[in-house]
Amino acid sequence: MALIDDIHSNAKKLQKAIILPESLEERNLKAAELIDKSGFGPLMLIGDQDETNAKAKSFGVNLGDAVLIDPATDENYDLYVHKLVELRGKKGVTEDKAKELLKDPLYYAAMMVKLEKADGYVSGAIHATGDVLRPALQIIKTAPGVKTVSSFFIMILPESSPYHATREVLFFADCAVVPQPNSDQLSDIAVSTAKSFKALMPAQEPKVAMLSFSTMGSAKHEDPDKVIEAVKLVKEKAPGLMVDGEMQADAALMASVAGKKCPDSKVGGQANILVFPDLEAGNIGYKLVERLAGAAAIGPVVQGLSRPVNDLSRGCSVQDIVDTVAVTACQAAD
Ligand code: ACO
């Protein structure tokens, strides 16, 4: 797919240092070898030197130029302890607690990224989403001007889809981070996703549909009211962005339905970004499209952090890890 090829070649140009902190895990080690061979830049691993090398050997992996950071011998270890206390002291992190937290490679990776020893990290092959994101939310924090960290999936439709010819790629948000966004958070998700879309697909205009079970007031309920308020806020936060709603998914995607339900909408029937009203709808929605329609789902790609961190599904393949590292390197360029 052209988008993935573009992301890979961009990652090669950027040469960003991305960490795979789950460094004893077979798929991560195999991905490290592929990334090293692909020339994406200095791939980094965190772990005991002997143990990691032995694991790599047992999987037949040649780590090449991948950089292995062993906290036991890392010259920056004391700096990370000191800075972690400085950053999280008000939240009760003492020196002992900081040392305890830094035994977790995800916290170690978050400190390396915070102190610019690396450009981002990718994890989640053996950790739940919350465990991957919490160190990033606590330490790396949001980008300037951003309040809400959220995520999107790049959904690549198969040739068999009736939408393949006009919209091979759609972005779905938020399917992984904010469980019950209020209207302000929902508007942040929409604005961030449109920005991410423009960064990855510069040739296309983002058209954002804010989804609901109601289209333009067809149902009266507090849930669509939340979406209506979010649309208003998006228009204030990003004037000029093509956004509309509240609308049902068919009105967002099908011109024939939009013609009946929201004939005046410039987004109806043409949306390429679907913003779901909450995490349950978003997470269920992307998995249904992935499984029933056979779409490729790349993500969740996390947006809104000051430096990129991405989560993997625990069912991810080696290629998913390589692709996610490439996306993360591209985000690090922003
Ligand atoms: N944006 C910005 N900051 C945030 C956000 C956010 N969305 N969420 C939490 N924070 C901040 C908090 O303000 C807090 O800051 P502080 O400690 O400096 O005061 C810090 O992050 C940690 O917050 P906690 O409340 O301790 O973290 P929480 O336990 O709420 O975890 C998390 C946040 C992990 C994102 C949670 O909302 C979550 O579990 N989301 C769902 C993840 C999930 O299970 N997704 C579905 C599976 S993914 C898949 O299927 C692909």
**Same domain for 89 and 49:** yes
215 lines ligand 1 (CB under 6 A): no
Return the CATH number at 180.
3.40.50.10750
How much distance in Å is there from the Cα of 149 to the middle of ligand 1? 8
**Same domain for 272 and 186:** yes
At 313 the pLDDT is 87
273-331: pLDDT as tens digits: 999 999 999 999 999 999 999 999 988 999 999 999 999 988 899 999 999 999 999 99
**Same domain for 87 and 180:** no
Q: Which burial class, exposed, middle or buried, applies to 26 when counting CB atoms under 10 A from its CB (0-12, 13-18, 19+)?
A: middle
At 315 the pLDDT is 87
**Same domain for 278 and 225:** yes
227-250: pLDDT as tens digits: 999 999 999 999 999 999 999 999
How many other CB atoms are there within 10 angstroms of residue 196's CB atom?
25
179 lines ligand 1 (CB under 6 A): yes
At 98 the pLDDT is 98
For residue 67, give its domain range.
2-141+306-331
Which of 244, 207, 239 minimizes the C-alpha distance to 227?
Answer: 244
**Same domain for 244 and 170:** yes
At 334 the pLDDT is 65
**Same domain for 197 and 62:** no
At 237 the pLDDT is 95
Residue with tokens 């309920």: 221
> Which parts of the chain register pLDDT below 50?
none
**Same domain for 187 and 85:** no
162 lines ligand 1 (CB under 6 A): no
Question: Assign residue 216 a region: left if phi > 0, alpha if psi is -120 to 50, beta otherwise?
Answer: left
3-state helix, strand, coil in the chain (%, to 5): 45, 15, 40
Ligand 1: which of 93, 133, 137, 312 to mutate, most ligand atoms within 8 Å of CB?
A: 137
Return the CATH number at 67.
3.40.50.10950
**Same domain for 44 and 24:** yes
138 lines ligand 1 (CB under 6 A): yes
Let me know if residue 6 belongs to a domain: yes
Number of folded domains in the chain? 2
d(CA 285, CA 279): 9
Which of 201, 205, 202, 175 minimizes the C-alpha distance to 189?
Answer: 175
Does residue 25 have a cis bond before it (omega within 30 degrees)?
A: no
Please spell the DSSP secondary structure of 229-250, one letter per residue. HHHHHHHHHSTT-EEEEEE-HH
**Same domain for 127 and 172:** no
Let me know if residue 286 belongs to a domain: yes
Q: Which helix (H) or strand (E) holds 290?
A: helix 279-293
Distance of CA 10 to the CA centre of its chain: 17
**Same domain for 312 and 205:** no
Q: What is the pTM of this model?
A: 0.92
